[in-house]
Amino acid sequence: MSRRSPARDRVRNDNCHGAASPTRCYGRLWRYVTRRGPDLFIVGAPKCGTTSLYRTLRGHPQLYASPRKEPHFFCDVPPPHFRPMGPDAYFALFADAPVSSVAYEASTNYIYSAAACGSIRDYSPSSRILVALRDPADRAYSEYWHFRRYGLEPLSFEECVAADGEREVSRRYVERGLYACHLERYREAFGEDRVHVLLLDDLRRDAANAYAEVFRFLGVGADCHVDGAIRHGRGWAPRWPGAGAAYGRLVSDRSPVARVARKVMPRPVRRVSRGVVSALFTDARVPPMAPDTRALLCHAYAAEISRLESILGRDLTPWRT
């Protein structure tokens, strides 16, 4: 897959936000155009199976995964709960990728960022884009419980829905389910043939066929068997009031405890330790969404779902109930 283009040599220094912002670092990116970088970007959306997708694709011998799942390097402003990265750290993620492989990363907030779309396009217009989507009402509820699990969301889901447009962008759970305009932005930037949409419904219904389609899209062996079971990113709830905040202090990327653990503990030990902490502080039983709230969201998303049906040529009737 060709990744080199004169467009990658162009420099853009507008919209500078933060030390790790690609637009601020872009003037120095010319030094990296000959270094190995990603060929494929999984751009989101969050809580749509991207963690399972990222990990499952690692099972294909022709694909190389960034060791860090969500670098968010090309976002103009990285999400507040992610550690920012500079160019050296970012490109180092792909230093071990074989020349013949398709290297990829997965940063779920890329889908919402016009700056990320433009920066990725300028860096590598031949990149392939993979978008994962799901029922937007389910996505909103899942993301809400993700923040609750880490003690970052004090409000009820109904309170969040009522105040959605007034909240910080990363907590607008309803607005973040309006996929169509973001999907169209990537299709316009890269071309429809370089943007593949994968529905979580398809992964749950027939994972083998869904992944075979992804492999054909990437131009790698489609007959490779991978374990596509959905095991990652499931919603978990805190076991008691305050448990979420305690869990977040122990495992968050920005937690001092987690930073020390990364330095002194081997990866297998960290993985087991995190599982123990998760079992102690969180519970897999997320309560069902209130029927009245679901009905409200289904009504709010009706026009968006119709627009997506037109874009994708798919019947999304199950998303309407």
Q: What is the CATH number of the domain that holds 49?
A: 3.40.50.300
Please check the confidence at residue 174 and state whether its pLDDT lies above 80: yes
* pLDDT for residue 82: 77
206 with 261, same domain: the answer is no
186 with 274, same domain: the answer is no
User: pLDDT, tens digit, for every residue of 52-84?
Assistant: 999 999 999 999 999 999 999 999 877 777 777
pLDDT band, residue 31 (cuts 50/70/90): low
User: pLDDT, tens digit, for every residue of 89-128?
Assistant: 999 999 999 999 999 999 999 999 999 999 999 999 999 9
Please check the confidence at residue 2 and state whether its pLDDT lies above 70: no
Chain CA centroid to CA 270, Å: 23
* pLDDT for residue 7: 32
What strand order describes the sheet that includes 63-65?
63-65, 102-106, 40-44, 128-133, 195-199
206 with 110, same domain: the answer is yes
Q: What is the pTM of this model?
A: 0.83
Query: Between residues 261 and 196, which one has the greater pLDDT?
Result: 196
pLDDT band, residue 8 (cuts 50/70/90): very low
Q: Which residue in the block uniquely carries the two structure tokens 């897959």? A: 1
User: pLDDT, tens digit, for every residue of 277-294?
Assistant: 666 667 768 899 999 999
* 187-202 mean pLDDT: 97
Indicate if the alpha-carbon torsion angle 248, 250, 252, 256 is positive or negative: positive
247 with 307, same domain: the answer is no
The residue range of the domain holding 105 is 6-230+291-320
118 with 183, same domain: the answer is yes
Q: Is residue 114 part of a domain?
A: yes
Q: How wide is the angle at C-alpha 202 spanned by C-alphas 127 and 182, nearest 5°? A: 45
